[in-house]
Amino acid sequence: MRLTVVGCAGSFPGPDSPASCYLVEAPYEGWTYRLVLDLGNGAFGALQRYTDPYAVDAVGLSHLHADHCVDMCSYYVARKYHPDGPRSRIPVYGPFGTADRLAMAYGLPLDPGMRDEFEFRAWVAGEAGRLGPFAVSVAPACHPVEAYALRLEHEGRSLVYTGDTGPTDAVADLARGADLLLSEATFHDGVDNPPDLHLTGRQAGEYAARGEVRRLVLTHVPPWYDPDEMAAEARSVYSGPLDVARPGAVFEL
Ligand SMILES: [Zn+2]
Ligand SMILES: [Zn+2]
């Protein structure tokens, strides 16, 4: 499978990157299946650099904070008002209540909201599912709202995306043995961070080391922090290949 970083700025878009958005592609039944993970502020524009937005097969939302989902409003417009007519519905996975939250974000009546454009489905923690070529499992993240970490497997390779999470064994366990751990790193170690919200660079590195993951990619670094300093924190505890996500970066696994 192939992971493309569309947007990786933490908590809000920065001058060089939209907020969270990742494109995951894999061959499937003679074509390329395209899954978009999160669609934060500004990401829908950038997504069009990497794929025809109408060639996307499904969207998975880790949680409903604006920096992970608000550009679904733009995607809704692009699908509904296309000059050749509305595009057919695609599945959108997310927390319970995703359809209503997105309807409210756009100012639509809750019924139908965006249900003519998207087929909303809820993540179920602990239950293995299938999305095109991917076996998908999710774990509850530690965050102030319902949030999930996601694990995708395809032809023996595995990608784990933490979404937003504070420290929790559920996410650490999900990451165990992953070929690539795409981990948020929002806070710095050694300062008084709010609890149950985000990981530090060091904690991301500790989860990678503990789970013996083959590659760690740090993401969701807020624009007010230096990504290289975040990487140094993770590097102090994880000795495997380590990158900091940048817009346009591609990882084959
Ligand atoms: Zn976030
Ligand atoms: Zn969040």
CA of 204 to the centre of ligand 1 (A): 15
**Ligand 2 center to 205 CA (angstroms):** 20
Q: Alpha-carbon distance 158 to 66, whole Å? A: 27
156's tokens: 């023996």
Distance between Cα 56 and ligand 1 center (Å): 22
Mean pLDDT over 56-83 rounds to: 98
Assess whether pLDDT exceeds 90 at residue 128. no
Q: Residues 26-50: pLDDT tens digits?
A: 999 999 999 999 999 999 999 999 9
CATH assignment at residue 85: 3.60.15.10
- Residue 126 pLDDT > 90, yes or no? no
Q: What is the distance in A from the centroid of ligand 1 to the CA of 43?
A: 13
Kindly give, in sequence order, each residue whose CB lies less than 8 Å from that of residue 67, ignoring residues fewer than 6 positions away.
Answer: 9, 10, 11, 12, 13, 19, 20, 40, 41
**Residue 83 pLDDT exceeds 90:** yes
The ligand whose atoms approach the alpha carbon of 63 most closely is 2
pLDDT of residue 224: 97
Per cent of the chain over pLDDT 90 is 98
Q: Which ligand is nearest to the CA of 144?
A: 2
What's the domain count of the chain?
1
Confidence of residue 127 (pLDDT cuts 50, 70, 90): confident
Amino acid 78: pLDDT: 98
Domain extent for 124: 2-252
